[in-house]
């Protein structure tokens, strides 16, 4: 049998590029078997070796930077500066997780010393920590060919946790995936970890991904992409004989609220920032602001017109692939039945898969009858929703479903309104941004990139920031265990010097 | 329309007792609407008020202790001493969560100060903490009418998190539920929290529970009970238009491994402990040891016979209800096709729903062909599986699915074997117990009562211990937020004095 291939396409021209062999069902099974074997290998439990792996992978990706950026540019149409920045983010992310593993307290060690006099029953010696959950399946996203793909945040955090990773690469950038995977595999070999620690499966259809999620040994799934894709994986994983968690980040419309006072004080600066946030990189960001609530009236109208002018003046942006372009064309056709274009419509253009950015508007009050106004439109398009009063604004916001982010631009004089907005938005979004824009998610300790459904399938978790590691860990408690079986993190002398909670108090002291 | 009623039955006699009105679909919806309203009430966000609620509820339950124990005794057949201990555990648990809220660091606050020079993009001010997830549905268990029921660990941890709770009470102890709910409702009123903070729904069928899980405003489900019940709720919640997490603890067989050396050193003490762990409270504990691996040969045979004698000599135990009794009878009938009774069979007896404990045995090697040997048998029954060699033992254990607990009895001379056992069991169980028995779960900071599927539907979480609160929380990040909208936990001056991670370091200092 001849292997099927998937072919890269340059979205700036529409021309096909290199072909890559697709993974077979046997490849999927073999990769997962190897991952399961690696999971049982004590080497993957050595924090020092994982630190070396993550740092080695970062160094290798940087060293291969020119090649990676060239291949990714031809496959995604993303500008070189963005790809260089994304590569640095990807490498920095791997290093940040290395530092997390080195610090060691991500295992959340808790030690309860025994108390024979405890009521109602004697208390044994209980020592609890987080351990890796098992082999993890990662689904790369099209829009971040590096930072949310083969060696992206899901892979970095799963490896940090001690979980082997099998990546289903996105068919939109198979060449980029292949180069990145080559470097990760080399980094795995460099530090003497089993080869099953990491694998990449290429495929253009959905069957390989489905087979991967069906593999019994897969213990969790990380996904970044569309609602349809994430929800399908969630449903499939829930229907397994042994269901597993799916951490799917499925995008959102990232509402922004502008107050009268903010427009009065700095309309131009906001228009400049908003236009960039909507159109940069073809607006193909899960944190792109899709909906902006503006006050009715002259100031609001002028602001909307200003943003529309800025978007209309920019060159058409290259979209990532034909499928996204076609999807956006369909969503725009729907939108044109619901809202009015401001100055000019959004349009697909050539060569390749280009799109001219545009703005639309409707009344916020229409959300009551037309909830589809809040649909995500993945591309350089923004919908303004004009509100007539504070009550109308708050009512409209109460109709917003789970979001990755929500942003507010306001002035000191708006304090009371801002408090009300923070209340309603904090129930709906994973991150509240003040006087800024949601795109450009910084990778920090506390960054939260998640949110209530439908933004994600797991509102208690994040796919960006150091707490992303928590997705791939589960607790285990040792009761009256002999010292010989306790992991170092739970031993009396605290050999790693990590923070632990001992009898309720955080301490780095030995017992 | 006349309300349907559910009727308590005294399982020690089989006689019906008081009748209780069943919740209607309207009751379900009203309770959830009130819970959603309470969730939006700022009073429930005040940690001090929740501390008062939890302490007040504990005090009220203790004050009503005689009444509660009398009603629960008549509905469950559990001995008074056990119920008094369980009541103390329940009250102590509420107080422990009060202390957790008072300590405050369960919100896992993280503050990243801004860094305009960060690479690849400037770092904003990011402040992250955990916030309550929303109204929680709790399903009470039959076997812990207090500690895992109306005011049990799920309710206590959800209220601690700031989530209103709607309990679907277990129909096996409606009177106990009614008394406990009366006290919790009074405690809610005492501290001036909205009435929607807590509600109990009584029902004997499954429709009320299904309607509760279907309510859109319910954000998470806590459940303790059978695999069939927990899995059905998991499937239902996953099929909602907006899926929600189900934290179902569904029992397990809690394997115990005995080594030759342990039997040689202390067979009698182990037999005594094991017999009690198998038969106490009718063996109706999710941590009851259902399967014990013993060495083949004389010592093992003598040990098995000793345990069988002890079980056979005890009076028949009252089971909780007719359904459990019938279920156990059916499981025993299946078991008798798979394994041999040791000395005498397990049998149902009267009056009421009584059961005579017994032991069965088979060869560990048979697990390869008969995985149903590892089925849970909820009641005072234990199955011994004899192993001929270390390899046979480890192969058999590799067939064990997700467990709440796994226990090892060994001697110092077994160090190498114990290490191998710890490895294989730690992948399968939430808690490893050494030289002890898994029943009698202590409520401590680090206690983990959970495990891989099918022991639970959420291996990353626990239903006992202080980290149980994590189930009902989700993170939120504030980016460049004005001080006025930041919760106290994230304010510069750290008014609650809680531990926070600031720029990566744990500290209680203000910024």
pLDDT at site A1:
42
Interface touch B242/A430, C-beta < 8 Å:
no
DSSP string spanning A234-265? HHHHHTSSS---EEEE------EEE-HHHHHH
Interface touch A120/B432, C-beta < 8 Å:
no
Contacting residues of B for A453, CB less than 8 Å apart: 242-244
User: Which residue among B124, B245, B446 places its CB closest to the CB of A126?
Assistant: B446
Looking at chain A, which residue has its C-alpha nearest residue B84?
A120
Interface touch B477/A432, C-beta < 8 Å:
yes
Contacting residues of B for A461, CB less than 8 Å apart: 475
Looking at chain B, which residue has its C-alpha nearest residue A247?
B245
ipTM score here?
Answer: 0.97
B221: phi then psi, degrees, rounded to nearest 5 = -130, 130
Query: Within a 13 Å sphere around the CA of B24, how many CA atoms are in the beta-carbon half?
Result: 7
pLDDT for A323-334, tens place per residue? 999 999 999 999
Contacting residues of B for A482, CB less than 8 Å apart: 412, 415, 418, 434
Kindly indicate the confidence band of residue B3, based on its pLDDT and cuts at 50, 70 and 90.
Answer: low
A443/chain B closest Cα distance in angstroms: 8
Return the HEC string of A435-484.
CCCCCCCCCCCCCCCCCCCCCECCCCCCCCCHHHHHHHEEEEEEECCCHH
Looking at chain A, which residue has its C-alpha nearest residue B435?
A480
Check whether the bond before B88 is cis (ω within 30° of 0). Answer: no
Give yes or no for a contact between B422 and B406, defined as CB atoms under 8 angstroms apart.
Answer: no
Q: A110 has which bridge partners?
A: A128, A501
- Is the pLDDT at B2 greater than 70, yes or no? no
Decide if A286 is catalytic.
yes
Interface touch B105/A462, C-beta < 8 Å:
no
User: Which residue among A234, A243, A477 places its CB closest to the CB of B457?
Assistant: A243
Rounded-to-integer distance, Cα B310 and Cα A299, Å: 86
Residue B351's CB is within 10 A of a number of other CB atoms, namely: 12
Pairing of β A500-502 and β A110-112: parallel
Interface touch B450/A235, C-beta < 8 Å:
no
Query: Hey, of A216, A444, A472, A506, which one would you mutate to test binding to chain B, going by the most B CBs within 10 A of its CB?
Result: A444
- Is the pLDDT at A283 greater than 60, yes or no? yes
Alpha-carbon dihedral angle through residues A90, A94, A95, A97, given to the nearest 10 degrees: 130
Kindly indicate the confidence band of residue A103, based on its pLDDT and cuts at 50, 70 and 90.
Answer: very high
Rounded-to-integer distance, Cα B466 and Cα A450, Å: 24
In 3D, which of B440, B422, B474, B457 has the Cα closest to residue B233?
B457
Q: Strand, helix or coil at B234?
A: helix
Overall average pLDDT of the A21-47 stretch = 97
User: Which residue among B126, B402, B423 places its CB closest to the CB of A446?
Assistant: B126
Residue A351's CB is within 10 A of a number of other CB atoms, namely: 12
pLDDT at site B373:
97
If you search the block for the tokens 């419309």, which residue do you land on?
A253
Give yes or no for a contact between B218 and B245, defined as CB atoms under 8 angstroms apart.
Answer: no
Per-residue tokens: A136: 């993890």
Contacting residues of A for B131, CB less than 8 Å apart: 426
Active site residues of B: 249, 286
Interface touch A475/B92, C-beta < 8 Å:
no
User: Which residue among B436, B473, B480 places its CB closest to the CB of A460?
Assistant: B473
pLDDT for A395-433, tens place per residue? 999 999 999 999 999 999 999 999 999 999 999 999 999
Contacting residues of A for B412, CB less than 8 Å apart: 482
Contacting residues of A for B465, CB less than 8 Å apart: 128, 477
Q: How many CB pairs under 8 A join A and B?
A: 244
Contacting residues of A for B127, CB less than 8 Å apart: 446
Query: Hey, of A434, A475, A480, A504, which one would you mutate to test binding to chain B, going by the most B CBs within 10 A of its CB?
Result: A475
Kindly indicate the confidence band of residue B277, based on its pLDDT and cuts at 50, 70 and 90.
Answer: very high
B345/chain A closest Cα distance in angstroms: 32
User: Which residue among B85, B134, B482 places its CB closest to the CB of A418?
Assistant: B482
- Is the pLDDT at A48 greater than 60, yes or no? yes
Looking at chain B, which residue has its C-alpha nearest residue A499?
B506
Rounded-to-integer distance, Cα A158 and Cα A93, Å: 12
A292/chain B closest Cα distance in angstroms: 18
What's the predicted TM-score (pTM) here? 0.97
Interface touch A448/B477, C-beta < 8 Å:
yes
Q: Strand, helix or coil at B445?
A: coil
Interface touch A432/B476, C-beta < 8 Å:
yes
- Is the pLDDT at A3 greater than 90, yes or no? no
Interface touch A126/B92, C-beta < 8 Å:
no
Contacting residues of B for A88, CB less than 8 Å apart: 119-120
DSSP string spanning B324-339? HHHHHHHHHHHHHHHS
Rounded-to-integer distance, Cα B100 and Cα B199, Å: 23
User: Across all residues in chain B, what is the average pLDDT?
Assistant: 96
Give yes or no for a contact between A98 and A131, defined as CB atoms under 8 angstroms apart.
Answer: no
Per-residue tokens: A425: 């938005």
Interface touch B475/A86, C-beta < 8 Å:
no
Kindly indicate the confidence band of residue A26, based on its pLDDT and cuts at 50, 70 and 90.
Answer: very high
User: Which residue among B238, B422, B446 places its CB closest to the CB of A110?
Assistant: B446
Among A22, A86, A215, A249, the one annotated catalytic:
A249
A446/chain B closest Cα distance in angstroms: 5
Interface touch A447/B477, C-beta < 8 Å:
yes
Interface touch A431/B124, C-beta < 8 Å:
no
B36/chain A closest Cα distance in angstroms: 12
Contacting residues of A for B418, CB less than 8 Å apart: 482, 484-485
- Is the pLDDT at B1 greater than 90, yes or no? no
Query: Hey, of B110, B475, B486, which one would you mutate to test binding to chain A, going by the most A CBs within 10 A of its CB?
Result: B475
Overall average pLDDT of the B309-327 stretch = 94
Q: Write b or e for each residue in A178-197: b if 16 or more Cβ atoms lie within 10 A of its Cβ, otherwise e.
A: bbbbebbbebbeebebbebb
């Amino acid at each position: 049998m001849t292997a099927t291939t998937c072919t890269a396409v340059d979205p700036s021209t529409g021309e096909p590029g290199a072909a890559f062999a697709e993974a077979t069902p046997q490849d999927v099974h073999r990769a997962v078997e190897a991952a399961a074997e690696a999971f049982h290998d004590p080497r993957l439990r050595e924090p020092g070796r994982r630190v070396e792996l993550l740092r080695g992978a970062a160094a290798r990706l940087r060293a291969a930077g020119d090649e990676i950026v060239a291949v990714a540019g031809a496959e995604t149409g993303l500008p070189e500066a963005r790809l260089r920045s994304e590569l640095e983010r990807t490498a920095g992310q791997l290093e940040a997780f290395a530092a997390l593993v080195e610090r060691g307290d991500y295992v959340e060690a808790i030690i309860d010393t025994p108390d024979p006099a405890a009521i109602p029953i004697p208390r044994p010696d209980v020592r609890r920590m987080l351990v890796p959950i098992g082999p993890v399946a990662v689904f790369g996203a099209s829009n971040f060919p590096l930072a949310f793909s083969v060696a992206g945040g899901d892979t970095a955090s799963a490896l940090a946790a001690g979980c082997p990773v099998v990546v289903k690469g996105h068919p939109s950038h198979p060449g980029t995936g292949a180069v990145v995977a080559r470097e990760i595999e080399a980094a795995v070999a460099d530090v003497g970890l089993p080869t099953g620690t990491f694998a990449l499966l290429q495929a253009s259809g959905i069957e390989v991904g489905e087979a991967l999620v069906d593999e019994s040994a897969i213990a969790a799934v990380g996904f970044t992409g569309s609602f349809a894709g994430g929800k399908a994986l969630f449903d499939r994983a829930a229907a397994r004989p042994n269901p597993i968690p799916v951490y799917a980040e499925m995008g959102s419309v990232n509402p922004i609220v502008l107050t009268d006072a903010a427009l009065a004080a700095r309309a131009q600066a906001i228009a400049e920032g908003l236009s960039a946030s909507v159109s940069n990189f073809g607006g193909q960001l899960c944190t792109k602001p899709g909906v902006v609530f503006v006050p009715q009236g002259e100031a609001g109208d002028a602001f909307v017109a200003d943003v529309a002018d800025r978007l209309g003046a920019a060159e058409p942006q290259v979209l990532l692939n034909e499928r996204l372009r076609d999807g956006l064309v369909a969503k725009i056709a729907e939108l044109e039945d619901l809202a009015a274009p401001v100055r000019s419509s959004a349009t697909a253009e050539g060569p390749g898969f280009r799109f001219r950015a545009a703005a639309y508007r409707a009344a916020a009050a229409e959300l009551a009858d037309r909830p589809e106004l809040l649909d995500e439109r993945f591309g350089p398009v923004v919908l303004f929703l004009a509100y007539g009063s504070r009550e109308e604004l708050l009512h409209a916001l109460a109709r917003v479903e789970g979001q990755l982010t929500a942003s507010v631009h306001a002035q000191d004089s708006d304090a009371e309104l801002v408090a009300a907005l923070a209340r309603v938005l904090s129930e709906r979004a994973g991150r509240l941004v003040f006087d800024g824009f949601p795109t450009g998610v910084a990778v920090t300790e506390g960054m939260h990139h998640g949110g209530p459904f439908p933004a994600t399938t797991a509102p208690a978790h994040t796919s960006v920031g150091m707490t992303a590691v928590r997705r791939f860990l589960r607790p285990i408690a040792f009761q009256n265990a002999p010292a010989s079986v306790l992991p170092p993190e739970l031993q009396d002398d605290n050999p790693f010097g990590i923070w632990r909670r001992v009898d309720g108090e955080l301490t780095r002291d030995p017992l």
